[in-house]
Structure 1
Amino acid sequence: MFLMCVLAVYFVLPIYFLIVAATKPEGDLVSTFGLAFSHFNLFQNLSTLFGRENGIFAMWALNSVLYAVLGAGVGTLISALCGYALAKFKFRGREFLFSVILGGVLVPTTALALPLFLLFSATGLVNTYLAVFLPSIVSPFGVYLARIFAAAAVPEELLESARLDGAGEFRTFFSVSFRLMTPSLVTIFLFQFVNIWNNFFLPMVMLQKESLFPITLGLYEWNGQTARVPLLQESVITGSLVSILPVIVVFIVLQRFWRTGLASGALK
């Protein structure tokens, strides 16, 4: 119990510090104790944040939403299709293909940044939305989870009944299998969403236009300018607080499905 309390404090303390720092005026950041509240200035900080550089932060937030929501949605669908095929269809080389996909989980994303940049540069897609979106929809770990979930949640007898009724494979998947896998696929969506939302290295390699930046890269650029423009420090802190709110909201909204998905994978 003591160890759990210590770990809870360890994980919550940075968030608490961020909340406290985001409510302080710029001058109080260095003149007051970091974990103690002082003058409440949160709304003024938010107004400064969203008004800075003609509202560029709002554009970064919108970009992050587009990258994360669309990327996680399309990536989850692709993972579901691939995992379902690997779980329910027998074909030559299936296990070898699954081993290759599983091996992709072990490859760090940073090792793929340079090959991806060269590939997208050759196709003229660098410094576009697609340069971040397309790599985000590929998830070997999502395929791995989808195969486990499909094997656990979709009975073979139900598939055979659908086929006997004349349903094609795609209709069987979307009408029967997808609905049975939905609670589990929310787990994949959450993993994808958080991974894309927190993605920093790929956008840094692929993008040069500030109007295409996600929040992570935009705040990094501002943080690099704080030595010359100290007033940016408060905006970086307030922006960091704003950036974690969508992740918290998504987890709260989808936590029921998330727990169900984890349980079904654990049972398998």
Structure 2
Amino acid sequence: MNTTTRTEPTPVENPHTPAAPRLRSKPTRARSTVARPRKSILLTALTAIVLIYSLIPLVWLVINATKTQDGLFTSFGLWFDGDFALWSNIHDTVTYDNGIFLRWLGNTLLYVVIGAGGATFLAVLGGYGLAKYDFPGKRGVFATVIGAVAVPGTALAVPTFLMFSNLGLTDTPWAVIIPSLISPFGLYLMWTFATEAIPTEMIEAARVDGASEFRTFFRISLPLLAPGIVTVLLFTVVATWNNYFLPLIMLKDPDWYPLTLGLNAWNAQASTAGGQAVFNLVITGSLLTILPLLAAFLLLQRYWQSGLSAGSVKD
């Protein structure tokens, strides 16, 4: 009996049938790069160089503030002298010339509180208004603000002096305070920050609920602007605290000098006929001058960092 063996036909692939997609394995290198970023020796070395370059002046200032007048010239600049005179230098600094250093410190605080505080307040109001209100000429205001940011302050020194001289305000604290109230960069920063930080829907909801514009600003918008306000405040405080050129051309009476101008006057005593060299007091006074700024940056660090990064990530 003949038995025939039947074989199943081999299926023929249809060329028109789409092939099953192949699963691609995710590259492990990219995943490991995100989880464990690769270290760059060159970037680390450059960062270390910048860090050392930035810290050397501060270290030099701290070390030399502990030396006497003679020790400044008989010891190495980046190492301590045998005679530790920090506390005596601080005492001599605040008592020298009938305590004029404390008068200069008070003047600087006056200029910072009124000038920098007023500049921050005006920048917050102007930035909020420009960000959340539409009015004719808004593009022109934007161009004016950008142009004012690009103009250096030294270019406006002579016109500012002539204007205040005609008003009879030179050699008065108002000659330093009033120009400090204008901060184009602070206005631009608050403008961009308010645009991203305050949702327009929230303002419209407050208006629907019957809130006035002032209540909407102070109760709803102002808390949301806190990081930007701190950032602008730090910039204006540093600019006013370190301001040297404007008081130099506006003030003649040493009783109205800020710290920057007063310490420069002490430093210039050594080159005047019959003047007393007080380099140790100049260095100690410089150290005391930067301590409030360092404290402000350290205490408000988390606020101004968030303010600087606002708007950098787009949702």
The TM-score with structure 1 as length reference comes to: 0.97
Task: Quote the Cα distance in structure 2 between the aligned partners of 1:171 and 1:122.
Answer: 41
- Using the TM superposition, give the Cα deviation of residue 263 of structure 1 relative to its aligned residue in structure 2, in angstroms: 2.1
Q: Which has the higher helix share?
A: 1
- Cα shift readout 1:139-184 (whole Å, capped 9, x = no counterpart): 0000100011100110001101111122222221112111110111
Q: Which has the larger radius of gyration?
A: 2
Count of residues paired in the alignment: 268
Which 10-residue stretch deviates more, 166-175 or 183-192? 166-175
Task: Quote the Cα distance in structure 1 between the aligned partners of 2:132 and 2:144.
Answer: 18
RMSD in angstroms over aligned alpha carbons? 1.2
Residue of structure 2 in register with 1:56 after alignment: 100
Q: Does 1:7 align with 2:50?
A: yes
Equivalent residue for 2:194, pick from 136, 150, 157: 150
Task: Quote the Cα distance in structure 1 between the aligned partners of 2:220 and 2:164.
Answer: 37
Q: Secondary structure at the match of 2:78?
A: coil
Q: Does 1:253 align with 2:299?
A: yes
Q: Does 1:65 align with 2:134?
A: no
Task: Quote the Cα distance in structure 1 between the aligned partners of 2:215 and 2:115.
Answer: 24
Specify whether residues 235 and 196 from structure 1 end up closer, same or farther in structure 2 by C-alpha distance, changes over 3 A only.
same
Task: Quote the Cα distance in structure 2 between the aligned partners of 1:137 and 1:65.
Answer: 15
1:71-90 equivalences under 5 Å are 71-90=115-134
- Using the TM superposition, give the Cα deviation of residue 230 of structure 1 relative to its aligned residue in structure 2, in angstroms: 4.6
Task: Quote the Cα distance in structure 2 between the aligned partners of 1:227 and 1:34.
Answer: 22
Residue of structure 1 in register with 2:61 after alignment: 18
Task: Quote the Cα distance in structure 2 between the aligned partners of 1:102 and 1:166.
Answer: 36
Residue of structure 1 in register with 2:289 after alignment: 243
Specify whether residues 237 and 115 from structure 1 end up closer, same or farther in structure 2 by C-alpha distance, changes over 3 A only.
same
Check conservation: 2:119, 2:180, Cα contact below 8 A. yes
Q: Secondary structure at the match of 1:100?
A: helix
- Cα shift readout 1:191-224 (whole Å, capped 9, x = no counterpart): 0000111100000011111111110000111111
Residue of structure 2 in register with 1:162 after alignment: 206
Equivalent residue for 2:163, pick from 113, 119, 122: 119
Which 10-residue stretch deviates more, 28-37 or 258-267? 258-267
Equivalent residue for 2:179, pick from 135, 156, 166: 135
Check conservation: 2:228, 2:304, Cα contact below 8 A. yes
Q: Secondary structure at the match of 1:267?
A: coil
- Using the TM superposition, give the Cα deviation of residue 14 of structure 1 relative to its aligned residue in structure 2, in angstroms: 0.6
Query: 1:254 is matched by which residue type in structure 2?
Result: L
Residue of structure 2 in register with 1:222 after alignment: 266
Q: Secondary structure at the match of 1:219?
A: helix
Q: Secondary structure at the match of 2:84?
A: coil
Q: Percentage identity across aligned positions? A: 46
Query: 1:37 is matched by which residue type in structure 2?
Result: F
The TM-score with structure 2 as length reference comes to: 0.83
Higher relative contact order (CA 8 A, sep 6+): 1
Ranges in structure 1 where 5+ consecutive residues have no aligned partner: none
Moved over 6 A (4+): none
